[in-house]
Chains A and B, each alone.
Chain A
Amino acid sequence: MTKLDLICPAGTPAALRVAVDEGADAVYLGFRDETNARNFPGLNFSVDELAEGLDYAHGQGAKVLLAVNTYAAAGRGQPWINAVDNAAKLNVDAIILADIGLLDYAARTHPGLRLHLSVQASASNAAAINHYVKEFGIRRVVLPRVLTLPEIQGINQKIDIETEVFAFGGMCPMAEGRCSLSSYITGKSPNMNGVCSPASHVSYVQQGQDLKTNLADFTINKFGPREQAGYPTLCKGRFTANEETGYLFEEPTSLNVTRIIPELMEAGVSALKIEGRQRSKAYVRQVVANFRKAIDAAARGERLVIDMDNLSEGGKNTTGAYRKKWM
């Protein structure tokens, strides 16, 4: 079994430096526009900042992966084409794509560019993954967070490329790339606009000791005085039906796989991905340092379980679908 690669988020140049300093094998990031699935205000990189980030990371032996992982808008695909061309020009170590049109463009125009298949492509079986390998020569696939450990192992036995799985951070309980909950009430979705539950539609209202979280003027949750809060994403909303109030899909919680790293290695996984380009560098520092320790321990045959509940939505962690199948 080979040692797992630690893939870390960088929403800003400072977060990139922190991730590299704390031991990331690679950082992933996006341009400051709708071409990436974390198109949050004030976040992400200009072309010049990416060039500087590449210098910094390469200087310390870390790689840089560029996420161009939203779907190109019909009739105005130029920003996506520019993003791919800039990635090739700056020699990023890999580009993470979801849109088959862009995969085709990248494979034909820049044959030397290493391609990773984004989780947004939602390729969750060997046949789909092998199709992307055959047609576009992808070298790694980021698996959706809906697969169990045995399913991941099964896929790895039938494909010849690397698999990357999510290891920590926000949970997306729906099949990634196929969730439209956010667009139902905000008109914007992660797949098309790079944002789920965009901040422009979010409001927090303090009602005495209670906190109401709203999305597009709909109340998504109400937290009591001592309750840990979460973001107002529809999938983690608390709703009342038949006079019962509860979570319909998933409660506010975050993924943390430190306790099952050996099993993920056993299942043939090559890389662990930390979610959270929209989080601060303080988050990046703590999570990357802890995962560096946990991965190094796993490589020595040890199991290091590290709780990071303080950083988690709702103050809770889960191993998600890897150990549970809810759909």
Chain B
Amino acid sequence: MSFRPDNHNENEEFSPLFMAGLMIRPLPRAPLNLLLQYTADHIQKSHPAILTRLEQIAGTVFLIQPTDFPHDIRLTIQKNHVSCQIEDEFMGLADVTICGPLLSLMDMMDGKLDGDALFFSRHLTIEGDTAALLTLRNAVDSDDIDLWAEIIASFGLLAGPAKAVLNLGDHLYQSLSRNMGLIGRAITLPLSKRCEGLEHDNQNLRNRLDHLDKMLTKTQNRLQSLSRKTKI
């Protein structure tokens, strides 16, 4: 399962995920938090070596700010455990803040995208403790995590139906991704047409002002030469 268009959307914030986010926003946080923590627990159980690599940054708090998702996610590294929760009004100071499109962040975790490449191309911004971030990245990258399989497995007995729902979601996502550009343009076209019109009017006004400016300079010059002649 990929949940990701073949090509990254130019305007990544206007993605199917962004639309889904609008629907997710009013949902209660408790089930989302449960899902996040179950997934995190499942990953820790099936990839214990990752925890060993994370030991040296125990106590570090990461704040993940997806640019196209309505919630921030707080990741706290503890000794032998990682907690993962939704965090919208984080009052404390995060040691590291990571900001980027959610799907890119997930693909990075899945080992499909290179984090440095995302950073070079400015799709990812990071602030704070760089060494802690590198430790997290290297630890997660050190084993083969299939994120979608982990999410499905975290549903336990409901894994079967969850897989069906996620497959349907993937199908919807793929077709929405294909149509998103079209939808985006349909929404923004009238606005950009209006902007183009305004720019055109602006240019006309600038041209007329330039013309008036030149006329004024000419008139001033003529007046000056006339006044000189009268004095003579």
Known: A14-B111, A228-B122. A41 touches B141 (CB 8 A): no
A206 is contacted by which of B127, B131, B134 (Cβ under 8 Å)? Answer: B127
User: Across the interface, do A315 and B120 meet the contact criterion of CB distance under 8 Å?
Assistant: yes
| Chain A residue with the shortest CB-CB distance to B54 | A42
A203 is contacted by which of B53, B113, B130, B136 (Cβ under 8 Å)? Answer: B130
C-alpha spacing A202/B139, complex, angstroms: 19
User: Across the interface, do A15 and B134 meet the contact criterion of CB distance under 8 Å?
Assistant: no
Known: A14-B143, A313-B120. A282 touches B130 (CB 8 A): no
Q: What's the tally of chain B residues with a CB closer than 8 Å to chain A?
A: 35
User: Across the interface, do B122 and A229 meet the contact criterion of CB distance under 8 Å?
Assistant: yes
C-alpha spacing A94/B111, complex, angstroms: 29
Most buried by A among B115, B131, B141: B141
Of residues 89 to 132 in A, which have CB atoms within 8 Å of B's CB atoms? none
User: Across the interface, do A282 and B121 meet the contact criterion of CB distance under 8 Å?
Assistant: no
B114 is contacted by which of A40, A199, A279 (Cβ under 8 Å)? Answer: A279
Most buried by A among B49, B117, B143: B117
Asked if A198 is an interface residue, CB under 8 A from chain B, the answer is: yes
A282 to chain B, nearest CB (A): 4
User: Across the interface, do B120 and A204 meet the contact criterion of CB distance under 8 Å?
Assistant: no
Measured as residues with beta carbon below 8 angstroms from the partner, the interface class of chain A is: 35 or more
User: Across the interface, do A204 and B126 meet the contact criterion of CB distance under 8 Å?
Assistant: yes
C-alpha spacing A261/B117, complex, angstroms: 24
C-alpha spacing A138/B137, complex, angstroms: 36
Asked if A281 is an interface residue, CB under 8 A from chain B, the answer is: yes
B17 to chain A, nearest CB (A): 20
Asked if B112 is an interface residue, CB under 8 A from chain A, the answer is: yes
C-alpha spacing A15/B135, complex, angstroms: 15
B138 is contacted by which of A43, A223, A229 (Cβ under 8 Å)? Answer: A43
A206 to chain B, nearest CB (A): 5
**B-side interface mostly:** helix
Asked if B142 is an interface residue, CB under 8 A from chain A, the answer is: yes
Which chain A residues border B141 with CB–CB below 8 Å? 11-12, 14-15, 280-281
Which chain B residues border A223 with CB–CB below 8 Å? 122
Most buried by B among A12, A15, A278: A12
User: Across the interface, do A281 and B111 meet the contact criterion of CB distance under 8 Å?
Assistant: yes
User: Across the interface, do B142 and A13 meet the contact criterion of CB distance under 8 Å?
Assistant: yes
| Chain A residue with the shortest CB-CB distance to B136 | A42
B107 to chain A, nearest CB (A): 8
Which chain A residues border B112 with CB–CB below 8 Å? 282
Known: A279-B116, A280-B108, A315-B121. A199 touches B139 (CB 8 A): no
User: Across the interface, do B134 and A42 meet the contact criterion of CB distance under 8 Å?
Assistant: yes
User: Across the interface, do B142 and A211 meet the contact criterion of CB distance under 8 Å?
Assistant: no
C-alpha spacing A14/B137, complex, angstroms: 13
Asked if B144 is an interface residue, CB under 8 A from chain A, the answer is: yes
User: Across the interface, do A310 and B117 meet the contact criterion of CB distance under 8 Å?
Assistant: yes
Asked if B119 is an interface residue, CB under 8 A from chain A, the answer is: yes
C-alpha spacing A43/B57, complex, angstroms: 13
Digitize B122-157: 1 where CB-to-A-CB distance is under 8 Å, 0 elsewhere. 100111101111111111011110000000000000
Known: A14-B144, A310-B121, A315-B120. A204 touches B135 (CB 8 A): no
Known: A204-B127, A279-B114. A42 touches B120 (CB 8 A): no
Digitize A270-291: 1 where CB-to-B-CB distance is under 8 Å, 0 elsewhere. 0000000011111101100000
User: Across the interface, do A11 and B121 meet the contact criterion of CB distance under 8 Å?
Assistant: no
User: Across the interface, do A42 and B142 meet the contact criterion of CB distance under 8 Å?
Assistant: yes
User: Across the interface, do A211 and B131 meet the contact criterion of CB distance under 8 Å?
Assistant: no
Asked if B207 is an interface residue, CB under 8 A from chain A, the answer is: no
User: Across the interface, do B130 and A200 meet the contact criterion of CB distance under 8 Å?
Assistant: yes
Of residues 94 to 115 in B, which have CB atoms within 8 Å of A's CB atoms? 108, 111-115
Asked if B167 is an interface residue, CB under 8 A from chain A, the answer is: no
Known: A41-B56, A202-B130. A282 touches B114 (CB 8 A): yes
User: Across the interface, do A282 and B111 meet the contact criterion of CB distance under 8 Å?
Assistant: yes
Asked if A205 is an interface residue, CB under 8 A from chain B, the answer is: yes
Of residues 241 to 296 in A, which have CB atoms within 8 Å of B's CB atoms? 278-283, 285-286
Of residues 205 to 256 in A, which have CB atoms within 8 Å of B's CB atoms? 205-206, 211, 223, 225-230
C-alpha spacing A15/B114, complex, angstroms: 12
Which residues does A use to contact B, with CB under 8 Å?
11-15, 17-18, 40-43, 49, 198-200, 202-206, 211, 223, 225-230, 278-283, 285-286, 310-315
Q: Beyond A14-B111, A42-B54, list 13 extra A-B contacts (CB 8 Å).
A: A15-B141, A40-B138, A42-B137, A42-B139, A42-B142, A43-B138, A49-B49, A200-B131, A279-B114, A282-B114, A282-B117, A310-B121, A311-B117
> Would you list 8 pairs from A and B whose C-beta atoms are within 8 A, ordered by A residue?
A13-B49, A17-B144, A41-B56, A42-B134, A199-B131, A204-B127, A280-B113, A283-B116
Give the top 7 A-B pairs by smallest Cβ distance, nearest first. A42-B138, A12-B142, A42-B135, A199-B131, A41-B135, A282-B114, A283-B114
